[in-house]
Amino acid sequence: MTDRKITSEDLYKIKTPADPRISPDGSQIVYTVSSIIEKTHTYQSHLHVINRNTQAMEQWTFGENKNHSPRWSSGGNLAFISDRSGTPQAYVMKAGGGEGRQLTFSSHGVSNPLWIDEDRLLFLTYLPENDSYENPKKKPEYPVPLEVTQIRYKSDRDGFIRGRKSRLFQLDLSTGETRELVSCEGDAESPSVSAGQLAYVHTPPEIPGTGLVSDIHIKNLKTGADKNITGGRGIFSKPQFSPDGRCLAFFGHEKEYKSATLQKLWLYNTEHETLQCLTGEWDMYAGDAAVSDSLYGAVSPDVQWTADSQGFYLIVTDRGSTGVYYGSIEGLMYPVRVEEEHVSGLAMHPSEHWGVLSISTPISPSELFEADFRTGEIVKLTHLNQQWLEGTLISAPQAFEAEAEDGWSIHGWLMKPAVMEEGKKYPLILQIHGGPHMMYANTYFHEFQVLASQGYAILYVNPRGSHGYGQDFVNLNRGDYGGSDYKDLMTAVDAALEDFSFVDQGRLGVTGGSYGGFMTNWIVGHTNRFKAAVTQRSISNWLSFYGVSDIGTFFTEWEVGGTMPGDAMKLWDHSPLKYADEIDTPLLILHSEKDYRCPIEQAEQLYILLKRKGKNVKFIRFPEQNHELSRSGHPLLRVERLNAITAWFNEHV
């Protein structure tokens, strides 16, 4: 029996297998393993291969760098991306492994390799429109002003855009020649090829009043004819041609409920030029909407076609879990694996109906499994986290539901403290996810386990606005931020206090990030029942958020239901800053300095106002980090963040 508790620093022990790919002959499975190098506090990822005939497992790349995005050619060669030269470049190696040969030499780096055939490889690079791949302009040796002419001029992922965009190139391996395949204003991404056809996602510059748009285009590589098949009506992604090239499947929606619209599966017939939504009557989210803090290196999978071009497999989100479904081109959809787990990766053998899944549970980070969907048999392939887990106390959550005042069911989990004594009461921390249109799930969450090891019960639920519970439910909080969603959370707290007698109702804490940070700010401005709060990458003022966030204009309009300046009073009414006088709860504010999604001025305003009023508040700024600090930020700062959260609750709860 072990008594070792999980610590913040155990983040360094977690290994994440992801992005599995099956070789064309089905004999090998390549995947990435991502982890943290303890001595340098940096991330690394390497390619590993399983030989299905011998069950042998080999590591194919080495060194303190990142190797990822493996892609098999039809002849069995393996392309991948590596930053071993200093910037991410495409490499190729033989099917049996060996030294990789560098293929690209872009000063800006490349990504997303995709084979056209054995001699041609597609890749993306992020370049200004007037730069060439072969001879990009030299970076200036002195500071230059940033000229801004577009609404979207910065990105939480990429920083200041400076005229750059994702551009799609083709490399001829025999000659080394490259040429750009798409000429468009805006980004060209996510390519798929079949018999002289190129499908890709086109994201044009934001048009005032319309918000985000991303379309699926099909280009004839011989004639150059380019067709927009989705017509500028919505947000679409991940196109994949069927093996016979007659159909193109992709995800997306037409913004019927703006950012709260369920993602659906679409099918375009290239012969008849008809577009059909296959899951239009299906009240579930097509894809993975689960949130986790322990999936560094994970890749959201495309639709997986079968060899006969009559069906496909995909991941589906439903009621706190993600599972695998099979669908046909006629619109038949049925589950083939639905368990209380988080399937974050999927690769299918096209003709034999078996696949490789990345699966996480609340008590285990991701591992790879091979599943036969004809028999239901599943076999664990990797045991990367087994040794660490065997020596560690893990808390398993218990699912529960509470009924909201208007009858909706609020689904969630209560995680007990890792160590409990009979008859003793324990403090409880309410966790609130971001999005808001995401979902807590049956997945491993390191932050929850760290707090549980400190003696806290953890309550995490999916209030209205969360995915996984149907279109009506996910749309309920739009225009009502701080209304019934706040009541849902308080209802869940009340239900937990009633159902779990070991919870000390006088020792409650609350925390959350992004939308969860907004809601944390809102809660402490509307009730004093929590003894301490930690707000992370939060929103405090919708009036300024409108103009400073990289999604501010359309997100504020879609989610809160107001614009500037016409709806200024409505935006102010929904701003936690308005209620700062009512905040008496000790509040820790955590924010990243290069967060362009929820810019740090949101934290600065809240901190200065509370400090000026003599409130119990503390502000921690994380340098050089963006909105993704808790998931992919600098490892040392991720640990500092976790330690700051536990220290604040230990002091005040």
Output the DSSP codes for 126-163: EEETT--SSSPPPPPSS-------SS--EETTTEE-TT
Parse the chain into domains and list their residue ranges: 103-136+148-282, 401-652
Average pLDDT of the residues of the chain: 96
pLDDT over 80 at 579, yes or no: yes
**438 neighbors 467 (Cβ within 8 angstroms):** yes
| pLDDT tens profile 522-559 | 999 999 999 999 999 999 999 999 999 999 999 999 99
Residue 408: both structure tokens together? 């909706």
pLDDT on residue 131: 84
Sequence-ordered list of residues with C-beta below 8 angstroms from that of 499, at least 6 positions apart, any chain: 400, 414
Q: Quick check: pTM over 0.95?
A: yes
pLDDT (mean) for 508-517 = 98
**486 neighbors 520 (Cβ within 8 angstroms):** no
| pLDDT tens profile 4-52 | 999 999 999 999 999 999 999 999 999 999 999 999 999 999 999 999 9
pLDDT on residue 37: 97
Question: Can you tell me the distance from the alpha carbon of 550 to that of 252, in angstroms, rounded to the nearest whole number?
Answer: 21
Q: Above pLDDT 70, what percent of the chain?
A: 100
75-81-83-85 Cα dihedral, nearest 10 degrees: 40
Question: Can you tell me the distance from the alpha carbon of 385 to that of 379, in angstroms, rounded to the nearest whole number?
Answer: 16
Confidence label for 223 from pLDDT (cuts 50, 70 and 90): very high
pLDDT (mean) for 414-434 = 97
Question: Can you tell me the distance from the alpha carbon of 251 to that of 215, in angstroms, rounded to the nearest whole number?
Answer: 11
295 sits in which H/E element = none
From residue 557, alpha-carbon distances to 56, 209, 519, 537 in Å are: 54, 9, 18, 20
pLDDT on residue 2: 61
| pLDDT tens profile 143-164 | 999 999 989 999 999 999 998 9
Sequence-ordered list of residues with C-beta below 8 angstroms from that of 128, at least 6 positions apart, any chain: 136, 137, 162, 163, 164, 165
Confidence label for 137 from pLDDT (cuts 50, 70 and 90): confident
25 sits in which H/E element = none
Burial of residue 257, with CB atoms counted within 10 A of its CB: 0-12 exposed, 13-18 middle, 19 or more buried: middle
pLDDT (mean) for 118-122 = 96
From residue 325, alpha-carbon distances to 133, 311, 348, 625 in Å are: 41, 11, 12, 37
Architecture of domain 401-652: 3-Layer(aba) Sandwich (3.40)
Confidence label for 300 from pLDDT (cuts 50, 70 and 90): very high
Give the DSSP letter string of 195-232.
TTEEEEEEEPPPBTTTB--BEEEEEETTT--EEESSTT
Give the DSSP letter string of 69-128.
EEEE-TTS-EEEEE-TTSS-EEEEE-TT--PPEE----TT-EEEEEEEETTEEEEEEEEE
pLDDT over 80 at 207, yes or no: no
pLDDT over 60 at 58, yes or no: yes
302-351-17-199 Cα dihedral, nearest 10 degrees: -20
Any idea which of 138-142, 384-388, 492-496 has the lowest mean pLDDT?
138-142
pLDDT (mean) for 179-208 = 93
308 sits in which H/E element = none
**By C-alpha distance, which of 192, 309, 304 is closest to 247?**
309
Question: Can you tell me the distance from the alpha carbon of 334 to that of 353, in angstroms, rounded to the nearest whole number?
Answer: 14
The pairing of strands 409-415 and 164-172 is unpaired
**537 neighbors 597 (Cβ within 8 angstroms):** yes
pLDDT on residue 205: 87
Measured between its terminal Cα atoms, the distance across the chain in Å is 30
pLDDT (mean) for 485-498 = 98
Sequence-ordered list of residues with C-beta below 8 angstroms from that of 569, at least 6 positions apart, any chain: none
Sequence-ordered list of residues with C-beta below 8 angstroms from that of 382, at least 6 positions apart, any chain: 17, 57, 367, 368
**By C-alpha distance, which of 400, 405, 432 is closest to 416?**
400
| pLDDT tens profile 2-16 | 689 999 999 999 999
pLDDT over 80 at 428, yes or no: yes
Q: In 3-state terms, what secondary structure has residue 421?
A: coil
Question: Can you tell me the distance from the alpha carbon of 251 to that of 264, in angstroms, rounded to the nearest whole number?
Answer: 6
Q: In 3-state terms, what secondary structure has residue 561?
A: coil
pLDDT over 90 at 97, yes or no: no
pLDDT over 60 at 1, yes or no: no
Q: In 3-state terms, what secondary structure has residue 419?
A: coil
One of 2.130.10.10, 1.25.40.10, 3.40.710.10, 3.30.499.10 is the CATH number of 103-136+148-282, namely 2.130.10.10
Burial 121-142 (b: 16+ CB within 10 A, else e): bbbbbbbeeebebeeeeeeeee
| Sign of the Cα pseudo-torsion (302, 306, 311, 314, in order) | negative
For residue 207, how many other CB atoms are within 10 A of its CB? 11
Residue 476: both structure tokens together? 């309920």
3-state SS record for 170-184? EEECCCCCEEECCCC
Confidence label for 99 from pLDDT (cuts 50, 70 and 90): confident
Q: How many CA atoms lie within 13 A of 90 on its CB side?
A: 27
pLDDT on residue 51: 95
Confidence label for 133 from pLDDT (cuts 50, 70 and 90): confident
pLDDT on residue 96: 77
Active site residue ranges: 514, 627
| Angle ∠(324,327,330) on CA atoms, nearest 5 | 170
